[in-house]
Chain A
Amino acid sequence: MSTTAINIKHLKMLARLDLTPEEEEKFARQLGDVLEYFKELDKVDVANIEPTSHAFPLENVWQEDEAKPGFTVEEALRNAPKKRANEFVVPRVVEE
Chain B
Amino acid sequence: MELLYATVSELSEMLSSKKITSVELMKAYLNRIKTVDPKVEAFLSYNEADALAQAKASDERRASGKTLGPLDGIPVGIKDVIAVKDQSLTCASKILEPYVSPYDATVIARLRAQGAIIFGRLNMDEFAMGSSTENSVFKVTKNPWDVSRIPGGSSGGSAAALAAGELPLALGSDTGGSIRQPAALCGVVGLKPTYGLVSRYGLAAYASSLDQIGPFGRTVEDVAILLQTLAGHDSEYDSTSYPAKIPDYRASLKNRGPFKLGVPREYFGEGLDPEVKTGVMAAIDFYKKQGHEICEVSLPHTGLAIPVYYIIATAEASSNLARYDGVRYGHRSEKATDALDLYYKTRAEGFGAEVKRRIILGTYVLSSGYYDAYYLKAQKVRTLIRNDFMDAFRKVDAIIGPTSPTAAFKVGEKTDDPISMYLADIYTICVNLAGLPGISIPCGFTKSNLPVGLQLIGQPYQEDRLLAIANKFDEAHKFGLKQPTL
Contacts and interface: CB of A to CB of B under 8 A. Distances in A.
B381 A11 contact: no
Interface in A21-59: 23, 27, 30-31, 33-35, 37-38, 40-41, 44, 46, 49-58
Given A17-B347, A37-B307, A56 B360 contact: no
Contacts of A91: 336-339, 341-342
B138 interface: no
B268 interface: no
Contact of B329 (A37, A41, A80): A80
Contacts of A58: 196, 240, 242
A27 B357 contact: yes
Nearest to A75: B102
A19 B163 CA distance: 39
B348 A17 contact: yes
A51 B100 contact: no
Q: Among the interface residues A37, A41, A75, which one has the most CB atoms of the partner chain B within 10 A? A: A41
Given A38-B311, A51-B379, A15 B326 contact: no
B195 A63 contact: no
B383 A52 contact: yes
B242 A51 contact: no
A79 B328 contact: yes
Interface stretch (B144-152, B250-258, B370-378, B445-453): B370-378
Interface of A is mostly: loop
A37 B314 CA distance: 15
Q: Among the interface residues A17, A19, A58, which one has the most CB atoms of the partner chain B within 10 A? A: A17
A79 B98 contact: yes
Given A40-B304, A78-B102, A15 B360 contact: yes
Contacts of A92: 338-339
B100 A81 contact: no
A37 B308 CA distance: 11
Contact of A16 (B325, B364, B382, B436): B325
23 contacts: A8-B360, A15-B347, A15-B359, A17-B359, A19-B360, A31-B360, A38-B374, A44-B304, A46-B377, A49-B380, A52-B386, A55-B195, A55-B435, A56-B209, A78-B102, A79-B98, A79-B329, A80-B328, A81-B327, A91-B336, A91-B337, A91-B338, A92-B338
Interface of B: 98-100, 102, 195-196, 209, 235, 239-240, 242, 301, 303-304, 306-308, 310-311, 318, 322, 325-332, 336-345, 347-348, 351, 353, 356-357, 359-361, 363-364, 367, 374, 376-384, 386, 418-419, 433-436, 460
